[in-house]
Structure 1
C-alpha cells in the first residue's frame, strides 16, 4: 500500500518543513508538550497512527518514528494490537517497617481513597492459617479493598486478621475505613512489617478490570505479615499492584 504523500501547504500542516528540524522530531515535541500540559492524560490512548498522520499532514512512517522516540524516553507506551498510550506516573512503594497506604499515597502528593469490595468473616484456608499461625478452618476477618490515588487504582489487597485473637475487629472495620484506626479500637496501638514476599504474574480478568490495566502487563504481588509490639501476628495481606503505575522499592 502506498503511503500518503507529505503535504506542503503550511495552512493545513502544523509542522514546519523549512526550519531544519526533522518532521518526526517536531511531532514528538508537539505530543510531548500535550502530555506535559495535561491535554493528553496519563493512561489515555493517543490518536491512531492514521489519525496523527492526517493531523500533522505526514505519512505514517514519520508518525511511527515520533512514537518510537517517545516510547524510548518513557513518555509513551506502545501495546501491540492496542495502540499507544500516555505513560502513567509510576509510584514508588517503599517497603518499610510501618508501611501505611494513606501515607504512601500522600508522599506522592496524591489523594488516597479506597473501595471496600468485601468485609466478612470466613474460614481460613491453609495458606492464610499458616501465615497467621492459626488452625486451618479458624475464623478470620477478610477485608478486600481497592486502593486509589487521585481516583486511579493502584492496589487490590486482601487483608486477613485472626478473628479470635482480635475480637471485635469486624465491627471496628465496619465503623471505620482505616485499618490502623480499627486495630487501635481492639487494642493494637501499633504494628510492624515482619515479612514481605514479592512475586509477579499476569493479572486475572477481574484484576485487570478493577486495576484498569491491560491483561498483557503483569501485576506485582506482595504477601505481607504484620505483627504487634509483642511480635504476635495480627495480619496477613496479599496485594496486587499494576506495573504500569507502581514499582516496589526495598531500602535498608
Structure 2
C-alpha cells in the first residue's frame, strides 16, 4: 500500500491513506481506528512511523483520543459565530443537539481582586461560583467557571444552575445586553483533560467573557475551556 520510493515520507502516506478511508466512509465519526499494533502490521512499518501519522491526524482534528479507550474518528466541529450573545444551552438547541450540565461546584465565595474589579464589586462582596461541565448530546464539550454577584441573584440555587442561567436571568426581569470576550489557544491541564475525557496534553480553547445587562451592570465573568477537537469559531469581516 505504501510506496517506499516516493519522496513523500511513509508516515505522510499513512496519513493520506487513513484520510481517504474516512472520506470514503470506511471509518465514520465516532468509529475507532485500528490500534497502533494493527496499523504497524497492515502497513509493514515501524510503530514509531504509525504513531507519527496518527499523532498528526489528531493534531489536525481528524482523529481524537480517549484515555484508556483508543483513537476515534472526530465528528464535525460545532461552529460558533462570534456575532451575537447566546448561552451554551441556546447554541446547542439551535443545532438540534441536547444540551446538558454536570455541576462540579456551587458556592458563595469572596472573589479575587480581578474578578471583583470586573464585576464592579466592593471589597468582601460575595459572588456565586458555579463550575460545570457542559455536554452536547451527552458528550463533554467544555468546562465553565462562572462568577455571579450574589446581590444580583440572591435566590440562586443549585437546581437553577442545572439548567440555563440565561433563562433564569430572563425570568428575573433582567435583560442581557452585551459582552466582551477573549479567546486564546492552550493545552488542557491534567484535571481539564480528565473532565473533558481527552488525552493530556490536548489542545483547548480558553475563553473569558464579561457580560453586561442593558443597564450597563456587569453580571457575570465566565472562564471556559473548550475541546478544540469539537469546537471552532467563525466570524464574518467586512471592509
Deviation string 1:24-56 (CA, Å, 9 cap, x unpaired) is: 9887655552323x5xx16x4x222431455x5
CA gap of 1:117–1:106, structure 2 versus 1, over 3 A, is same
Q: Which of the numbers 34, 37, 46 marks the counterpart of 2:26?
A: 34
For structure 1, the residue ranges without an aligned partner over 5 or more in a row are 1-21
| CA distance in structure 2 between the aligned counterparts of 1:251 and 1:243, rounded to whole angstroms | 20
**Kindly tell me: are residues 145 and 137 of structure 1, through their superposed partners in 2, closer, same or farther at Cα, counting changes over 3 Å?**
same
How far 1:23 sits from its partner (Å)? 11
Equivalent residue number for residue 191 of structure 2: 206
Which deviates more, 83-92 or 129-138?
A: 83-92
1:146-193 alpha-carbon deviations (Å, 9 max, x no partner): 11111111111011111113332347726x6220232134331x2133
Structure-2-length-normalised TM-score: 0.75
Aligned to 1:89, the other structure's residue is in SS state coil
User: Which secondary structure does the structure 2 equivalent of 1:183 belong to?
Assistant: helix
Which blocks of at least 5 consecutive residues in structure 2 are unaligned?
A: 1-12
Whether the aligned pair in 1 keeps the contact of 2:64 and 2:229 (CA below 8 Å) is no
Q: TM-score, normalised by structure 1?
A: 0.71
Structure number with higher relative contact order (C-alpha < 8 Å, ≥ 6 residues apart): 2
Moved more, 155-164 or 212-221: 212-221
State the Cα RMSD in Å.
3.5
Q: Deviations over 1:175-230 (max 9, x none)?
A: x6220232134331x21332001122222111111111222222211111111121
CA distance in 2, matches of 1:31, 1:224: 36
Q: Which has the larger radius of gyration?
A: 1
- The number of residue pairs the alignment matches comes to 218
